[in-house]
Structure 1
Amino acid sequence: MTALDTPRKIRKAPKKVPENLIYEIMDGKPVYYKGYRQVLSGEKSIVEIMGSSSLQALIVFYLSAFIGKFIDEEMYTVLINEAGLHIDHKNNLANDIAIFEQTVLTPDKISRKYASVPPKIALEIDIDADVESMTETGYIYKKTQKMLDFGTQKVFWILTEAQVVMIATPERIETLHWNQEIELMEDNKFNIGAYLSKKGVIVN
């Protein structure tokens, strides 16, 4: 996790940033998509910074397919694709994969708006936010704590550069290499490293 703590020179955000470049809202302040400054300068398009890398997309597919093999849809609802989560009027977050208990995310709460109840489990693959105002580790811990305080039981961070999985619960936080068998829920375990090896994918 050391590489994530590298201090960055903080630059002030431009005064006017289009709303479609806002990734999340934390403590009433916008958190922009990583690379938004390059969009404002004309170096990149919005599509370029919002799209996932092929590695991220493959991991999301693997985890989604893995969950689909055991999940009881009468008990749980799974949301993917940066599902929005409305914690309160100052905090709107996004989850790559979120598993909700159906008794919590009841059918009447499924709408065109963000979910306003906590997922039981949330999975994040890398950081899609611009975190120049804090370290990447600071962003991870801040977002994770907000999720746990809201009622999420377990938050996973899959970090492709470090090739680790961080698992956070209200009681503890641990970081494991992604080659290990890691329990997601109800004794169902995933292994990202083994899956990538099976696909012939080498991550340098």
Structure 2
Amino acid sequence: MMEQATEQIPKSLVYEMVGGKPIYYQGYKDYLTGNKQMDEIMGSSKLQALIVAELIYLLRSFYGNEYLIFTNELGLRFGKNAWRAADIAVIKSDLVEDLNDQYLDIPPELVIEIDTKADLQEVRNPLGYYHEKTEDLIQFGVAKVVWIFTDTRKVLIAEQGNNAWRIYDWEDQLEITEGLAIDMKRIANRGK
């Protein structure tokens, strides 16, 4: 994690907080040196944005009004000084008492991540970041975690109570929740 004094870094550049230690947005150093604007760091690529939009449409159509579909790096609060961000989170509507400016402190049923916006250069084990975040989400109570990787065109699916995480190619039919299969290749090619 980051070793320099955190009081010099704006809180808005903190992507996640793990064990009281910040994980910053990828490119935060470029912002600090004046080489990038805040929106250049926090923004998504066209492909990432398309995937999120298509998945939200599919999820909303599948779940209907019984569930809320959250997006936009929803904060999931695990405890004091411990929270993670979620690209997409699906939770039963009746579990969310009110909509306010606080992070969600109850586990969604499904979390979908598209790549990461975390600066992994500052993380001790960059590959371990994905494993640790997935474990944190599952221990929090998330039933299923889906990682979509745009560079490698792979999808990782981890489920509560199942130690065998599965990795798929985009060409594979993926059941992201019971009864809802997605075709990542079709989704990614929609923008062409």
Q: Which amino acid aligns with 1:97?
A: I
Alignment of 1:46-61 (within 5 A): 46-61=38-53
**Could you list the runs of 4 or more consecutive aligned residues of structure 1 that deviate by over 6 angstroms after TM superposition?**
none
Alignment TM-score, normalising by the size of structure 1: 0.86
What TM-score results when the alignment is normalised by the length of structure 2? 0.91
**Which of the residues 136, 139, 143 maps onto 1:153?**
143
Give the count of matched residue pairs.
188
Q: Secondary structure of 2:65's match?
A: coil
Query: SS of the counterpart of 1:173?
Result: strand
Contact in 1 for aligned 2:47/2:188 (Cα 8 Å): no
Q: Does 1:115 align with 2:107?
A: no
What is the letter of the counterpart of residue 106 of structure 2? V
Q: What amino acid is aligned across from residue 174 of structure 2 in structure 1?
A: I
Offset of residue 199 of structure 1: 3.7
Letter in 1 for 2:29: R
Question: Gapped runs of 5+ residues in structure 1?
Answer: 1-9
Which of 119, 129, 132 lines up with 2:118 in the alignment?
129
Structure having the larger proportion of residues in strand? 2
Q: Which residue of 1 aligns with 2:84?
A: 93
Q: Aligned partners of 1:199, 1:112: CA distance in 2, in Å? A: 33
Q: Deviations over 1:99-119 (max 9, x none)?
A: 01234x33x242210010001
RMSD of aligned alpha carbons: 1.6
Alpha-carbon contact 1:109-1:115 (below 8 Å) kept: no
Identity of aligned residues (%): 34
Aligned to 1:5: none
Q: Does 1:32 align with 2:32?
A: no
Amino acid at match of 2:44: S
2:23 aligned partner, one-letter code: V
More helix by share: 2
CA, structure 1 residues 41+156, in 2 after alignment: closer, same or farther (shift >3 Å)? same
Whether 1:81 and 2:72 are equivalent positions in the alignment is: yes
Distance 1:167 1:128 in 2: 19
Equivalent residues of 2:50, 2:191 under 8 A apart: no
Task: Please give the alpha-carbon distance, in whole angstroms, between the structure 1 residues aligned to 2:9 and 2:175.
Answer: 40
Supply the distance in 1 between the matched residues of 2:20 and 2:3 (Cα, whole angstroms): 17
Aligned partner letter, 1:88? G
Q: Structure 2 regions of 5+ residues with no counterpart?
A: none
8 A contact 2:2–2:23 mirrored in 1: no
Residues 1-21 of structure 1, C-alpha deviations (whole Å, 9 max, x = no match): xxxxxxxxx874455211111
Q: Find the counterpart in structure 1 of residue 179 from structure 2.
A: 187
Measured in 2, the distance between the counterparts of 1:86 and 1:11 equals 21
Say if 2:73 and 2:86, in contact at 8 Å, map to a contact too.
yes
1:197 and 1:18 map into 2 onto residues whose CA distance is 37
2:147 is paired with a residue whose SS is strand
